[in-house]
Structure 1
Amino acid sequence: MFTIDTHTHIIPKNLPDFSKKFGYGEFITLDHHAQGRAWMVQGNKRFREITDNCWDPLVRIEEMKQHKADMQVICTIPVMFSYWAKAKDCLEVSQFLNDDIATTVNNHPDKFIGLATVPMQDASLAIKELERCMKNGYKGVQIGSNVNDLNLSEPQFDEFFAACEKLNAAILVHPWQMMGQEHMAKYWLPWLVGMPAEISRAICSMIFGGVFEKYKNLKVCFAHGGGSFLPTISRIEHGWDCRPDLVAIDNPINPKEYLGKFWVDSHVCDHKMLQYIIDLVGADKVVQGSDYPFPLGEAVPGELVRTAPLSNENKEIIMGSAAKTWLSL
């Protein structure tokens, strides 16, 4: 079956020393310390070790053959968002990353689809970069679950969402800068607990803030199966119902009414949970997404869906056609 892996990350093989160039900050650099291996370095600390499948499209294509993936949607690693930086500097970083993705897509148009990164701390610059990328063949944009601790429902992002709707740009919302991470560094809890909570935060913010009401044609996909939002939707609805004075102050519509109006990826690590999210949002709103090439992603991208007790029709929808709709292919 035709397969599009909608959630994969990529980085240029070589990064400028943006901290040195701009004179501040802890921008990521790469230390290629061994053949096919590099440390992502943040300031003077090692952030993560990556291998050549994170930057070499030919290695990725070979692994795609093994994983039976026909295409990958590629976007930057969230730590590269750099929303904390000065907006004009973040724009320069974004342009560098986006140009590298564009080169990969242009060299292998039958294998890769690009999502841009933009300086979300400045809506006008974010729109400018989004427009540039969409004109150059991108299908959408990846954004963080918050922007410097601001929720996506804040009015300053309205102009950006309006531009996404106008440009028919798909949006992938990915967790980053997890709330409370400074209080739970042990046991990898920011990734295990914080990431699911961040995605629920983003969905709730966009629902309760009326973003989906203002921009009814917005095409949003939330990573990691929608995080903890779908497993706790009845609690969220109960809060909306019992304390509307706190929850429904900007949007009176029941949050369950939005099920099926946005996409989530399939990376939920469990067949029962996969069936659960299908039951809630519909197979046509679930897209294959692996978080390749990182360890917390699927060990074999696509295996969860392929081995699930689903109908062949639903598997074909999740593996390919739902993504085509989200990305307007």
Structure 2
Amino acid sequence: MSAGLIDVHAHWLPAELFGLPSGSPYGAMRDQDGELFLGDLPLSIRTEAMSDVNAIISDMDAHEISLRALSPPPFAFAVNSSSEDYIDEYNASLSKVVTESTGRLAGLGLTRLDDASAAARQVADIAKAGVLAGVAIPPMLRGASLDVGVLRAVLRSAAQHRLAVLVHPMQLPRPEWSSYYLANLIGNPVETATAVASGILGGVLGELPDLRICFVHGGGCAPAILGRWSHAWQARADVRAGSSIDPRDLFRSAYFDTVTHDLAALELLASHAGEDRILCGTDYPFDMAEPNLPAFVDSTGLDRVALQRSGKAFLGVRVPQTELQ
């Protein structure tokens, strides 16, 4: 029997939280005839795929996924307010779903993003509760990234309390990306690469060697430009100012998922990160999701048992030995 897959990158939001945090830059989510909308924008997602746990489990069963980590869709990040009530309700609902799933689901919850000390305390509280595997955060926040402010405080607290961190882009709009879905096709990979670079060159990954952090979408465009970072780190004092470790070495301390949509891109990623740092991901239920994870994984030549071992290590979740066969 081939090993079941562990999907670390999938999204869930209960219908009662479709209103999103106060100050959300996107407007509320809503159901329209069974289809999900973000404001007036159709998301090409059946509403039940985002909100119905039974639909999620059915999708897992259809795609040989033994364990799936659920995290909020990125537009649910509380980027413009404390939104304590919203965050607490999401984390409580996710904890309930995880607890009732009999080991099929793990959870990566929300944390405050308005204040560094409050965010660090919330991460500690999540760890103390002992249900969720970690938190999901944006790659950039109010003009900064992982190397400063709130996001660095979250990472320090997560490392201290042994929680996983999933870094997911927000598809931030820019005028030059207003057509052809470029805010996703270009924006998301650039957002993620910014976070990877800030984590490496800003010294975060060097400071926190025990941090379990995953950059989704295969690390965005970071693998393709890692050599440029390494060259600049050796050539320029300002690039070396935040870290004394070559970017190529620190790159191997992070995790990355398989959502690359391209075998050559995944091969490049694995050559830089090492195969033990590759995790299965789907991006369920979005339109950019990998539609057939088993077929894609098997076409890569990656070992299923190794992938499952890495997923277990990232999430800190026990997987029955029978699943590792």
Q: Gapped runs of 5+ residues in structure 1?
A: none
SS at structure 1 position matched to 2:284 = coil
Cα distance between partner residues in 2 of 1:27 and 1:98:
21
Cα deviations by residue, 1:123-168 (Å, 9 ceiling, x for unpaired): 2222233233221411111110011221110145443322111110
- 1:5, 1:69 within 8 Å by CA — same for their partners in 2? yes
Q: Which amino acid aligns with 1:286?
A: I
Corresponding residue of 1:55: 51
TM-score, length of structure 1 as denominator length: 0.88
Give the match for residue 69 of structure 2: 73
With the length of structure 2 as denominator, give the TM-score of the two structures. Answer: 0.89
Q: Distance in 2 between matches of 1:104 and 1:27?
A: 26
Deviations 1:34-92 (A, max 9, x none): 1x333232xxx4363531111101111111111111111000000110212x22xx222
Between stretches 283-292 and 128-137, larger displacement belongs to 128-137
For 1:4, the equivalent position in structure 2 comes to: 6
Cα gap change, 1:17 to 1:77, in 2 (>3 Å): closer
- What are the within-5 Å matches in structure 2 for residues 164-203 of structure 1? 164-178=158-172, 181-203=174-196
Long gaps (5+) in structure 2: 318-325
The 5 A counterparts of 1:261-276 are: 261-276=253-268
CA contact (8 A) 2:43 2:286 kept: no
The residue that corresponds to 1:153 in the other structure is 147
Q: Is the 8 A contact 2:45 2:287 kept in 1?
A: no
> Structure 2 counterpart of 1:132, which letter?
D
What is the CA–CA distance in structure 2 between the aligned matches of 1:46 and 1:82, rounded to whole Å?
Answer: 20
Q: Which has the higher contact order (CA 8 A, sep 6+)?
A: 2
Match of 1:248, as an amino acid? R
- Candidates 21, 35, 38, aligned match of 2:36: 38
2:254 paired with 1:255: no
2:171–2:184 CA contact under 8 A, matched in 1: no
- Pick closer, same or farther for the CA change 1:30–1:277 going to 2, 3 Å: closer
Report the counterpart of residue 325 of structure 1 in structure 2: 313
Correspondences of 1:52-131 after superposition (within 5 Å): 52-84=48-80, 86-87=81-82, 90-131=83-124
How far apart, in 2, do the equivalents of 1:237 and 1:220 lie? 21
What is the count of residue pairs matched by the alignment? Answer: 313
Distance in 1 separating the partners of 2:10 and 2:275: 20
Deviation at 1:94, TM superposition (A): 1.4
Cα distance in 1 for residues equivalent to 2:295 and 2:13 = 24
Distance 1:263 1:269 in 2: 17
- Which of 304, 307, 311 in structure 2 is aligned with 1:315? 304
Does 2:133 correspond to 1:139?
yes
Deviations 1:11-48 (A, max 9, x none): 112237568xx6x66574343221x333232xxx4363
What is the CA–CA distance in structure 2 between the aligned matches of 1:282 and 1:157, rounded to whole Å? 26
Q: 1:49 to 1:133 in 2, by over 3 A?
A: farther
- Relative to structure 2, which stretch is displaced further, 123-132 or 228-237? 123-132
Q: Distance in 1 between matches of 2:53 and 2:11?
A: 11
The answer to whether residue 238 in structure 2 is matched with residue 239 in structure 1 is: no
Instruction: Give the superposed CA RMSD.
Output: 2.0
> What residue identity is the alignment partner of 1:182?
P
Contact 1:267 / 1:298 at 8 angstroms: preserved in 2?
yes
* C-alpha contact 1:95 1:129 (8 A) present in aligned 2: no
Percent sequence identity over aligned pairs: 23
Q: 1:48 to 1:328 in 2, by over 3 A?
A: same
- 2:28 is paired with a residue whose SS is strand
